[in-house]
Structure 1
Amino acid sequence: MYREAAPPAALTDAVRCLWWSRTDGPARIVPDGCADLMVAGDRVFVAGPDTGPWDTDLPSGTLVHGIRFRPGHAPRALGVAAAELTDQRVELADLWGRQGRATADRLRAQPAALADVVGARLAREHDPVLRTLIARLDAGAPRVSAALAGLPAPERTLRRRFTRAVGYGPATYVRVARLRRAVTAAAHVPDLTTLAAVAGYADQAHLTRDCRELTGTTPRRFFARLGNRTRA
């Protein structure tokens, strides 16, 4: 069981969704460019942005609540660069110290307070240049250089800011964004050759290579079992 809900209006700029699920055994989580703050049984932790597949270790039947940040926005609430969380699961108490322990106690008792916790910490400033760059990559810019064109900062500076905010560089994000487009299109596309073209891959072989590296399995198997998307 997995469900999503829209975040409160005040958080839509930084938060993609609130979600909850009940685990039914091990699940494989694949990169989506996001970081999540999660409550899973007695654990309260941050799931950082992934660069490859992650197999969950939560006991079957665990009720999980989460809040998912949009790519590039997790540092505004978590107070650390996303690059420090890449491929990590970090207990909130380790991330925020005493305040993290108190917040974790609150969230264990009241998981529905996730939005309130994030809203109270969310820094209002944002980086409009990074927002433009991420939007270009999400829309299918064929190369990082094309997405960077015309932006008001040196390329090296933009790449550094991007990595700090998102958790990895724009070249990796291109691959993650392409996989997300494939996931979105998969329900309406009848074959892998067409899916590769729709999502922006050079060909089906390109889709297969990226899918194996990002999900740990073949496209046919991956798209056949898309039902469980809990991050843990």
Structure 2
Amino acid sequence: MYAESPPPPRLSGVLRCLWRSSVGRQLVVPDGCLDLVVAGDEVFVAGPDTRPWRSALGEGTVVHGARFRPGHAPRVLGVPADELANRRVPLDELWGRRGRTVTDLLLHRAAALPDVVARHATGMPDAELAVLLARLDRGAPRVSAALTGLGVGERQLRRRFTAAVGYGPATYLRVARLQRALSRAPRIRELARLAVAAGYADQAHMSRDCRELTGCTPGEFFGTR
């Protein structure tokens, strides 16, 4: 069982969703997000992935999570997202004494996840970063095209992007294409058509990215969805 629900309206700009799962071992693929997770007797931050990860939780373990919108996790966690890339970091390791207090709270009441996020959210959204993310999500063919006309130095914006998202815009572009393919796969079963619809140059391009980001062939990965 896996289910998502919308975050409270006050957190809609910070969180993409709240979720709950009890499926045990599962394949997790890159989606550009970080999650704050309550699982069994652990509370940890799941950093932004650039490769597939398979959870080792026992079947039936109930897991609760708060998924941050790309670029917003550092406003709550207080550390650059690239320091957490491809990592699962216990909250008490990240926040010290404060993390132990929050961990105890969430282990007893996972429903407090939104309150924890709201209590620790600081700063304002980065406007240029939001535009760049939106362009990449909508299917910009290249990072250079997405950077056009933003009025900020490219090198500076790339640094800000990496600190906020967890990796650079070129990697995010690949992740965004995979997610577009995943969202379209239930309606487009032919892989060549799916590749074009998701913004890949061709089916071979999708195959390379799919293998690197999911560890599966497109037939294996999309064929079961």
Alignment TM class, shorter chain as reference: over 0.9
Alpha-carbon distance, 1:190 to partner = 2.5
The runs of at least 4 aligned residues of structure 1 exceeding 4 Å deviation read none
Map of 2:107 onto structure 1: 108
Alpha-carbon distance, 1:123 to partner = 1.3
* Structure 2: distance between partners of 1:49 and 1:88: 8
Map of 1:6 onto structure 2: 6
Map of 2:165 onto structure 1: 166
* Structure 2: distance between partners of 1:185 and 1:23: 23
Alpha-carbon distance, 1:152 to partner = 1.7
Residues 29-48 of structure 1 aligned to structure 2 (within 5 Å): 29-48=28-47
Q: Which runs of 5+ in 1 are unaligned?
A: 227-232
- Partner of 1:123, secondary structure, is coil
Structure 1 residues 147-206: Cα deviation after superposition (integer angstroms, max 9, x where no partner): 001112110001000000000000000000000000110011130010000000000011
Map of 2:199 onto structure 1: 200
What is the identity, as a one-letter code, of the residue corresponding to 1:71? P
Query: RMSD of the alignment, in Å?
Result: 0.8
Where relative contact order (Cα < 8 A, 6+ residues apart) is larger, the structure is: 1
- Partner of 1:77, secondary structure, is helix
* Structure 1: distance between partners of 2:144 and 2:222: 30
What is the identity, as a one-letter code, of the residue corresponding to 2:189? P
What is the identity, as a one-letter code, of the residue corresponding to 1:7? P
Whether 1:144 aligns to 2:143 is yes
* Structure 1: distance between partners of 2:131 and 2:114: 25
What is the identity, as a one-letter code, of the residue corresponding to 2:14? A
Map of 2:48 onto structure 1: 49
- TM-score normalised to structure 1 length: 0.95
What is the identity, as a one-letter code, of the residue corresponding to 2:111? A
* Structure 1: distance between partners of 2:190 and 2:52: 23
Alpha-carbon distance, 1:28 to partner = 1.2
Whether 1:126 aligns to 2:125 is yes
Alpha-carbon distance, 1:224 to partner = 2.8
Q: Which runs of 5+ in 2 are unaligned?
A: none
- Partner of 1:177, secondary structure, is helix
Map of 1:230 onto structure 2: none
State the number of aligned residues. Answer: 225
Alpha-carbon distance, 1:124 to partner = 4.0
* Structure 1: distance between partners of 2:197 and 2:222: 15
